[in-house]
Amino acid sequence: MRSEERILVTLHRWTGPPVDTHTYLLTDPATREGWVIDAPYGTAHGVLRHCREHEVRLSMVFLTHGHFDHLLDVSIYVDAGIPIGMSPLDRPLLQLPQTEAYGVPYPMPKFPVSRLFGEGDRLRLGDREWVVWHMPGHAPGHLALIQPDTGLIIGGDLLFRNAYGRIDLPLADAEEMTISLSRLLECPDSWRVLPGHGEETTIGAERSWLGPLVVCQGGVDSSPEPRTKM
């Protein structure tokens, strides 16, 4: 677990197998309300224990997208009475035998989605407003959570350090990924990106390769490339 104290939000991170997927816990220090972002295998019990010890009240689990490695622990949160939210566009992914297809020894969870999110939705945690961006490509309903005042992007599998999300997966789309990555270029260089895998980065740190890729090289394509990841 990694933790970082910020003035406006407290951020913690856990990482779970089988592909080192991150879950993030955002907590408003004043109200003690918290959100969980993604639910990889083996992380939920640690998150819930932390919340009990620090008197954090979880109000939702926000799934960035419907790939198995981001939701294998989601049933634990459902059993704890915490609402699950995601894009309705990723519901078809939940019906696919993802874990079986990738030889992962965990069953795909079945769970109710009680909150549906899409482009432009505004969510409030404490006195700060977060905005939902629909960023398809890696998955049809891929979402990112944006905090524009502090310049923070919780981006799932959209952008990594020196890489972007895979587009050779079922229901992925290279053209949509190019558009989503292009949208990131409109953000200031100082904005931080907290990805679903690996270490955090900034828009400025990735601009030198991302700009030429989507502007000069005609965007991404569906063949495996050195810069694709997870």
> Which pair of tokens denotes residue 111?
């769970």
Question: Is the CB of residue 74 less than 8 Å from the CB of residue 84?
Answer: yes
Over residues 169-193, the pLDDT tens digits come to 999 999 999 999 999 999 999 999 9
Q: Which of 80, 64, 49, 54 lies closest to 196 in space, CA to CA?
A: 64
Q: How confident is the model at residue 12 (pLDDT cuts 50, 70, 90)?
A: very high
- The per-residue pLDDT for 141 is 98
Q: Is the pLDDT of residue 5 over 50?
A: no
Q: Is the pLDDT of residue 226 over 60?
A: no
- The per-residue pLDDT for 220 is 77
Q: How confident is the model at residue 163 (pLDDT cuts 50, 70, 90)?
A: very high
Q: What percent of the chain has pLDDT over 90?
A: 87
Question: Is CATH 3.40.718.10 what the domain over 2-229 is classified as, yes or no?
Answer: no
Over residues 91-147, the pLDDT tens digits come to 999 999 999 999 999 999 999 999 999 999 999 999 999 999 999 999 999 999 999
Q: How confident is the model at residue 208 (pLDDT cuts 50, 70, 90)?
A: very high
Q: How confident is the model at residue 216 (pLDDT cuts 50, 70, 90)?
A: low
Q: Is the pLDDT of residue 215 over 80?
A: no
Q: Is the pLDDT of residue 228 over 90?
A: no
155-178 residues labelled b (16+ CB within 10 A) or e (exposed): bbbbbbeebbbbbebebbbeebbb
Write down the H helix ranges in the chain.
44-53, 74-79, 91-94, 98-101, 174-184, 203-211
- How much is the mean pLDDT over the chain? 92
- The per-residue pLDDT for 6 is 43
Q: Is the pLDDT of residue 158 over 60?
A: yes
